[in-house]
Amino acid sequence: MLKNILTGSDCASCKICCIFDKYDIWETPVLDEKLKTLVEEKYPDISFVQKGDGWIFRMEEAEDELYYCPMLDHKTGCRLKDDKPFDCRIWPYRIMSLGGKRVISMASICPTMYSKPLKELVDELGRNGLAEKIFAHANAHPDIVKPYENGYPILMVEKDKL
C-alpha cells in the first residue's frame, strides 16, 4: 500500500515492524475475522487473543526478551504476503485517538520513513486517497485505532469528532 514511498527491499532488509518488545507489544497488528480464519486454516498452530471485534496474535516472549510475530519468516519476511493485516500494510503510519478525534501519526522506529522529509510523509497520505482509506477502514474496524502515544508525530487530524 505504501509502495510509492517504501520499497520491498527497504522492508526486506529491516523487519523491525514485525518484532516487538515489552514497550511496543501494544503495536501488534489487529486482524479481522476473515483474516483470522484464513490464518487458522493455513497455520493451525497459531493462536489469537480477542481485541474488541478483532484479533491479535498470541505472541510468546523469546529468550532475548523480544516478541516475534508468528507470521514472520526470518529469511523471507511476512508469510501472509499480500494478505497481511491492514495495520501492517500501512505501517509505519498509525491511526490513533486523541482528544475525541482520530489522528494519523507515524511510528518513529521505521528507519526508512523517519529519514524522509515531513512534507513527503504528509503528501503520501493525500496520494491515491490513502488517508481516506485509513479512516474508512477504521470506521469498519474501530479496533485498529490505538490510544495516542507520546512521541508519535501527528501528520493528519480528522476534521470530524469521533
Q: b/e string for 36-52 if b means 16 or more Cβ within 10 A?
A: beebeeeeeeeeeeeee
Nearest to 96 by CA among 66, 138, 67, 64: 138
Q: Is 155 in the site for ligand SF4 (CB under 6 A)?
A: no
Q: Is 80 in the site for ligand SF4 (CB under 6 A)?
A: yes
Closer to ligand SF4 by CB, 23 or 119: give it: 23
Count of CB atoms within 10 A of residue 112's CB?
Answer: 16
Contacting residue, 6, 30, 56, 71, with ligand SF4 by CB under 6 A: 71
Number of helical H runs and strand E runs in the chain: 6, 10
Q: Is 35 in the site for ligand SF4 (CB under 6 A)?
A: no
Closer to ligand SF4 by CB, 143 or 158: give it: 143
CB of 73 to ligand SF4, least distance (A): 8
Q: Count how many residues are written for the chain.
A: 162
Helix (H) or strand (E) holding 114: helix 111-114
Phi, psi angle pair for 30, to nearest 5°: -100, 130
Q: Is 14 in the site for ligand SF4 (CB under 6 A)?
A: no
Q: Is 30 in the site for ligand SF4 (CB under 6 A)?
A: no
Q: Is 36 in the site for ligand SF4 (CB under 6 A)?
A: no
Q: Is 113 in the site for ligand SF4 (CB under 6 A)?
A: no
Rg (alpha carbons) of the chain, rounded to whole number: 15
Return residues touching ligand SF4 (CB under 6 A).
Answer: 17-18, 29, 69, 71-72, 78, 80, 84-85, 88
